[in-house]
Amino acid sequence: MGVSVLVMAKAPRAGSVKTRLEPLLGPDGCARLQGALIAAVTAWAADVSPHGAYLAYGGAEDELRPHVAAGVTVFPDARGDLGDRLAAATAHVFRERSDPLLVVGTDMPVLTRAHAREAEAVLRGGADMAFGPAVDGGYWIVGMARPAPDVFELGGEWGGAAVLERSLERCSAAGLRVELLGTQRDLDDAADARALAAHPRLPAAVAEILTAA
């Protein structure tokens, strides 16, 4: 029993990450935040799956490596939109491991083992896919029992308020059984930052950056 975990992340370069938070943190602050988020989420991944934690990255590896927790296998992202990159990265992990796969970004810094256990239980219980809805209409985690690249073919709708809705439609068209997990707030903009700043499980390095803004 167990799961594989895949983190999707951009290297923390000023001006290319967390840009919706630049009015609050500035480009350099956003880069520091991204580094802290990578550290927090990869530590969670390595804890949940000590032998099956992966990170698919965009950008320069040397800028990313210092923030990645020990034990996490790093490989470069594919080209294309987020859907293309998710399809390629999940296929990469499934080629190496047959366990259910949990996929996250770096926008949910308060992940716990309980989140992973819930997603694993749903997948082991017969679901093909498990989505954790985000407040903004996207999702903070997707669990997969097997490869399902067609689910990620959303075209220009990535980043909009209907990402989860369209993803569920893709699952339905493919005949996949889906279960939804609990709704969470992820970290995209200033309102999210203010809401998460006081969260009791927020990692100290992330909290320091958000509360200093």
In the structure encoding, which two tokens stand for residue 143, read together?
Answer: 């669990």
Residue with token string 């840009």: 19
| Domain ranges for the chain | 4-207
Is the domain covering 4-207 a CATH 3.90.550.10 domain?
yes
Q: What residues have CB less than 8 Å from 33, skipping those under 6 apart? A: 12, 17, 18, 21, 25, 206, 209, 210
Q: What residues have CB less than 8 Å from 110, skipping those under 6 apart? A: 184, 196, 199, 201, 202
Q: What is the DSSP string of 63-115?
A: HHGGGSPTT-EEEEPPSSSHHHHHHHHHHHHHHH--S-EEEE-SS-TT--HHH
pLDDT at 1: 60
pLDDT digits over 124-147, tens only? 999 999 999 999 899 999 999 999
pLDDT digits over 29-66, tens only? 999 999 999 999 999 999 999 999 999 999 999 999 99
Q: What residues have CB less than 8 Å from 133, skipping those under 6 apart? A: 139, 140, 164, 180, 181, 182, 183, 184
- Nearest CA to 41 out of 64, 14, 9, 12 is that of 9
Mean pLDDT by 10 residues, the chain (213 residues): 93 95 95 98 98 96 97 95 95 96 96 96 97 94 96 82 92 96 92 90 94 78
